[in-house]
Copies of this chain bind each other. A is one copy, B any other.
Amino acid sequence: MEKFELNILGCGSALPTMRHLPTSQVLNVRDKLFMIDCGEGAQLQLRKMRLKFSRINHIFLSHLHGDHCFGIAGLLSTLGLLGRHGEFYIHTHPEAEKIFRPFLDYFCYELPFKVIFEPLPVGDSSLIYEDKSIEVTSFPLKHRVPSNGFVFKEKQGLRHLNAEMVKFWKVPIKDLQMIKEGHDWVDADGNIVPNKVLTKDASISRSYAFCSDTAYYEKIIPFIEGVDLLYHEATFAEDAKFRAMQTFHSTARQAAQIALKAGVKKLLIGHYSARYDDDKMIFEEAKSVFNNTIAAKEEMKIII
């Protein structure tokens, strides 16, 4: 299978702790790296996890709180020093450019590449990125400031050729593409060979959804329904349910309830509050509601 792997660079919340860094992730789709959020220290984690800076062309910023974006300037500076060229996209709230541009113009004025701010939809959903292998859709979360969730979906690939049958029927190369696209084939004598004889099913299309920061919000369910992996913030445990409500964050139980209702295959929790000495209580709370839960940890790699 081609790569579809999530790398956790940081999974803490705003206050630094001994255990966690602020939010940042990298989704590796066939060796293209898509960064999601870029908290302070993200570039140091990239180095530590041996993820190639040069393979990142897009960052998706969920929202404009510092613990999700203070690593941007350092990362861009480094990309400049590494001699990067071309274009670099930051998908973010429409206000971000106004805030970041003067800062970058001062500190990163010699960048040999172009930084393009792509505004995310606010309070609405839309397809925000597409290439031959994936589609990224943004949808609204519920937080103190506008916050966006993202779902990364592999596109359905072409059917795989059944090499033995293709050889048996002596199919000429020029017809292979059409067969991979799903068409039947007609030989020189007019025999119709059904497509399913000549091909095997295409690879399963995988999907990953990122939801942080957000309060418990059932309106996200249609966007994340059935995904292979859902990252949902679980800043608090139920003991701090009121605090979660006040700050528009979720408890572990709420994250798991969303996972359950959306019928996702696996739940990954993170964005742990600094108030907890370890993440065990949070993990167990989520797991008691949704069994297939894992707790994010720095430098974790999850093959989806």
Name A residues whose Cβ lies closer than 8 Å to a Cβ of B: 14-18, 21-22, 40-41, 43-44, 46-48, 64-67, 70-71, 73-74, 77-78, 81-82, 99, 102-103, 106-108
How many copies of the shown chain assemble into the complex?
2
Closest B residue by C-beta to A95: B106
CB <8 Å contact, B16 and A44: yes
Contacts of A67 in B (CB 8 A): 74, 77
CB <8 Å contact, B40 and A21: no
Contacts of A107 in B (CB 8 A): 64-66, 70, 99
Question: A47-B17, A64-B107, A106-B99 are contacts. A73–B74 as well, Cβ < 8 Å?
Answer: no
Question: A16-B44, A40-B40, A81-B15 are contacts. A66–B99 as well, Cβ < 8 Å?
Answer: no
Closest B residue by C-beta to A47: B16
A221 to chain B, nearest CB (A): 31
Q: In the bound complex, how far is the Cα of B77 from the Cα of A240, in angstroms?
A: 22
Contact of A66 among B22, B66, B73, B82 (CB under 8 A): B73
CB <8 Å contact, A43 and B16: yes
Q: In the bound complex, how far is the Cα of B43 from the Cα of A16, in angstroms?
A: 7
A200 to chain B, nearest CB (A): 43
CB <8 Å contact, A103 and B108: no
